[in-house]
Amino acid sequence: MTEPKVDEELWQAIRSLPWVMASMSFNAHRLHTPVGNVDGTSVMLVDGNEIKIKHDMDFVEGGNGLEDIGLCGKTQVILDGWVHPSQLPFICYHEEVERRDMQKGMSYEQAHKRANLVERELRIRATRP
């Protein structure tokens, strides 16, 4: 498997979403709080605690409609609204890369591994002065 590269256009689109405003309007009593759209993918904040209790204890930080979580559509990404807003773009990028790779026929395990690599690269970038 070749090492994936950061899709700079996708990263810029994700970073431009209103993360702080969405987090401020996040309502844990509503299952989905919209953040925006990235290249046709709907991004929503969800109550991760509620999802763990009622649906899937393996839910961690985010998911996408091509994973077997049954909580969103095929062109949706969901993110735990309780996560600090500074972390949401990284998680969103991970989920969208994973979703795109799975849409092309890649297994969840392979797509997850590739998404971890590019998410890691973005996190390393963020720590550089």
Residue 30 has what pLDDT?
Answer: 67
Predicted TM-score (pTM) of the model is: 0.88
Residue 117 burial class via C-beta count within 10 angstroms: exposed 0-12, middle 13-18, buried 19 and up: middle
Residue 105 has what pLDDT?
Answer: 95
Nearest Cα neighbor of 51 from 75, 36, 27, 31 is 31
CA distance 36 to 75: 12
Q: Tens place of pLDDT for every residue, the chain, 129 residues?
A: 567 899 999 999 999 888 777 777 777 666 678 899 998 999 999 989 888 898 888 889 999 988 866 778 889 999 999 899 999 999 999 999 999 999 999 999 999 999 999 999 999 999 987
